[in-house]
Structures are given as structure tokens and as C-alpha cells.
Amino acid sequence: MAGTFKILDAVAVPMRDGTLLPADIWLPDGNGPWPVLLQRTPYRREDVHGAQYISALEFQSALRRGFAVMVQDTRGRYAAGGTFDPFTWEEEDGADTIAWLRAQSFCDGQVAMFGASYVGATQVLAAAAHPEGLVAISPQLTTARHGETWMYRSGATELGFLLLWIIEALGAPDLERRIATMDEATANRLCTYFATLMRDPDAAFAHLPLLDADLLGLAPYAGRWFDDERAASALQNRERLDAIAASDAAMLVTAGWNDLFLEGSLELFETVRRRHSNPENVRDRLIIGPWSHGNPKDWQGAFWHGYAASTAGLSDIQIDFFDAALNGRPATGPMVRYFRSGSNTWHSAPDWPLPGTEIKPLYLVGEHLTEIATNTDWSRTYMSNPASPVPTTGGATFLPGLLLGRNAGPMEQSNIERRDDVLVFTSAPLDAEVEVTGLVKATLWVQSSAVSSDWTARLCEVHPDGRSFGLVDGITRWSNPGIDTPVEITVRLGHIGHLFRAGSRIRLQVASSNFPRFDRNPQSRVPATLATEADFVIAQQALLGGSGRQSYVSLPVVRTQNPSIGVLG
């Protein structure tokens, strides 16, 4: 077909309450009608970086393949009417937008959605409404739930992400509209506070108490987010998982091993994967790259992962997936494509979790990780001080911000491992390479002098030269059932896809903070959002092992090698 196309600019799309949300629409050459690829974004519909680059979908390619494309501002953002209230309107507004599209002469009645991060959330929430005509979605670097795996992790709050997301979200005209309704003194104070956030977010992380009037004045919805009771109950709240499981839409889920939303992305895929008992009938597809949030590139953390590690090729995969779904054909390609760090290679697999995976425990014994448990009792202690938390160093973080992400991914850990409040357990050198792909968990016997504390764990690879690099980490916020009583807990570190090389060693760190990725626990049961330094309690933490109470880390070791596919494609 010809390479020309037509743009309909700032088309007002009415919602059921009369609110108008503007959209730009690209139409292919010809008379149509066409299926429509829809993106609903809070990050400015004209922004090519977000609409196309981060979403890894080339509009020209889609137009040439016979798709129309529409990008819409979500409620309360930029030129859109209404008030921005994250997640609140996306289910209804998504369904209303799809219904409007299906009534247009250029649309053939079929709609697919695409985009990353919150733009992925708009897809998931629209799918939960089961709108007629939504045939497929392609959510990237996003989650199925927007409490656990988005705002919270096992009771702790994703502080670094949430504060920086507020800063990013406040850059739109909706902030100006909010400021315009305030008296001059309040407006000046909030503008000064916002300028401080933009210039020095570390000052906002360190501010006590965390939840104050200035933050709520700028982002009223933050009062729902920074809520200790909600964080504690989020793990049990399924939110819209059941509605998503009942959706008819085919889903191409794209995740990143170093993305803070990885666990939510995999939960989303696992939820829709269970719609089919036979793997051959699964219409859904999963791609896991090495990427961190906002950084779909070949350089992650301290390592260059090779030219094949970028999202090049993902645009064609998405368009092929949409074409198959919209034409009632099975999706092409393997169910799972995943990037394995260590070897820096792409692999295919017929299912997820990967078939041929064996859960291998490594036991904590003194300062070692061993394959054999010990019956000799041991314990190691440290002091946890909320006023001097262990600093975030690498991992699935949003720090210091979306367009940099320089602290995300595998980072060298020497400054962390020399601290007195971090315990380190290390294996002997490996005599053969080992692939670890899947969920990593640590089962620990602990005790504490505090009524409440956090337990963090990080899996590392120690190179032959002695340098240690973090690979995946997690946290559990723990309410102590009995002071100085040993209790078994589980810390979910998260998923990993890594080849440990022969000669390297496996290491586990255990500590009680990871700040500012997660908010700090005052260890006094005073809510973290309200605590001042006067509420901080220094606690003696103990990790134990031996007869009757083995502490160990569970590694998903892949015994059946999956074929290399060279590049993403």
C-alpha cells in the first residue's frame, strides 16, 4: 500500500459523564475501515518518546500493515477534561473510548491496545471491564494489581518509585489548575516544595514525617497510597485479577528482569495463562528482556548486555501478534521468549514457569551457602537502626528517575557488604555453569528485639575477581509475634533469568532495610508515614539456623536447556 496517511488532530472523545478526552488518530491510506491500535496515556499524547519509543511500536509500520492508530490523553492530563486520579477512571474511560471507536466509520469494530507502565495499566483496567470489540492488549512493564506489585511489596511501600512518580505526574498542566484554586500563600509554599522535589528528591525521601500537608496539597491521591494498613493488606487483595482472568482479550505481556513491575507483569501473564489447560491452545505470549523501567536498552546497571538486548524487533512482534488476534489466528512464535543475563542470550520456551525447572535449596550455614544442611545450631546478629538505613544500590528501582535509571539493575555491592548491619553468605566456587530462571525465595529463621521490623534479602553473583553484583532482591515487613522468639519467615526476592558462570560464587545478603527504594520501618509500630526520628527504635536482629530451623534460599535451576533464538524476533 502507499506510504501516505492522514492525521485527525485533537479529536474530542466524550465519556459517559460528558468529560471530553482528546485524541490524535492516524489513518492508513485508503478508505478503510481498519482495526484500531489504541494507546491511552497520562504522559502527553504528542510525546513521541512515550507513545512510540518506550512502547516499542512504530506507527509507520502499523499503518503500512493496515492498522489505524489512536493516542488519547487520559482524564485530567494535559488537554483532557476532568481531574487526574490514578487508576480511578481508567476502567470506565477505557470502555467508553473503545465503544466510541467502534461507532466511527474508520473503525472495523476491532480494537487492540498497547503501551508501557501506566499506559499498560490503562489496558489491563480496560480489559477488566470486558468491553465488546477489545480483541488484544500488549501491556509492557506494568502490573495486574495496583496495590501490591505497584505501590507495595510484602507490606513495605515502594517509596522511591511513588515519590518520583508524583514528581513526574505533577509536571502537567493539571498541577497548574490545582495551584490556581489555592490562596496565594498556600500556592507559593507548594510551588517551593515542588521545586525542592524536582531539584533534590533525596531531601523528600529523608523528610520526616513522610506524609505531610505539602505532599497532600500537591497530590491529594497520595493519601491513599501512603497508607500502612493498605500496604499490609495489599498482598491478599486480588483487585481485578479475577475479572482479567475472565477477559477474552489475547495478551502479549512484556516484562523486564530489572523492572520494578516485573512481579506484577509475571502475575498478569500467569493469570491469563491459566485460561487454557493445554499450552498449545494459549493465545497469550510472554517476553522478558533485561530491561529496567524507562530503560529498554542494552546497558543495564553495571553491565552492557550486548546489541541483542534492546527492544529492537519488539515493534514487529507486537504488530504480528495484533494481526493474528484480530484475524482469529493463533499467535506465531514460542509462548515465552526470555533474555538470560550471564550468557546475554535470548531463549524460547514452551511454557511458563519454565518446564524442566528444579527448586534447589542452598542452606545458610555460618557465613556460607551450602547444598547440605547442618544440624549444628548457629546464629548471627546485627543492629538495625532506622536512622541509618542500608542504602538502595541497584535492583529493580526507579531511582534516580525514569529517563536515567542509572541505579537500576546489577550493581557492585562492596559498599553494602562491608556494613555491620548486612549479613553475607557465600557459596564455594561453582564447578559448572548453572542457569537460574524463575522465582527466588529465602526461608529464614529470625528473631528481633523490636515489635516490628523489615527483613530484606538480595541474591548476588561473586565474580572470580571478588566483585559482588546484585541480581534480585526483596523485602518482608514483619510484625513480631514474640520478642526474641525465633520465627520462620519467607522473603520473596522475585524472579531472575541468569546464567552463573563456572568459577563464580552465589551470595545472599540479609539486612533490615533498602532505602529509599522502600520506606523505612520505625521498628516501633508507629506508621512509617507518620513517624519522626523520635519514633525510631534500634533493634537487635538475629538470623538463625541448624537443627529443626534451617534457613535457606530456594533457586529455580533449569535442568532442561531452552533453545537460543539469537535475537528478539
Q: Are 54 and 102 in contact (CB under 8 A)?
A: no
Smallest Cα–Cα separation from 400: which of 411, 387, 385, 389? 411
Active-site annotation, residues: 117, 259, 293
CA–CA separation, 156 and 159 (whole Å): 9
Alpha carbon of residue 76 to chain centroid = 24
For the record, the C-alpha cell of 458 comes out as: 538480595
Q: How far apart are CA 277 and CA 258, in angstroms?
A: 30
Please state, in angstroms and rounded to a whole number, the distance separating the CA atoms of residues 316 and 332: 12
DSSP state of 51: I
In terms of phi and psi (left: phi > 0; alpha: psi -120 to 50; beta: otherwise), the region of 25 is beta
Q: DSSP label at 341? A: B
Q: 85: how many CB neighbours lie within 10 A of its CB? A: 13
Q: 165 vs 33, 319, 335, 401, 528, CA distance in Å?
A: 38, 30, 32, 8, 19
- Give the cell for residue 63: 499503518
Beta strands 357-365; 552-558: pairing state:
antiparallel
Helix (H) or strand (E) holding 161: helix 159-169
Between the CA atoms of 72, 78, 83 and 84, what dihedral angle is there, to the nearest 10 degrees?
70
CB contact at 8 A, 459 and 486: no
Alpha carbons 511 and 384: distance in angstroms, whole number: 8
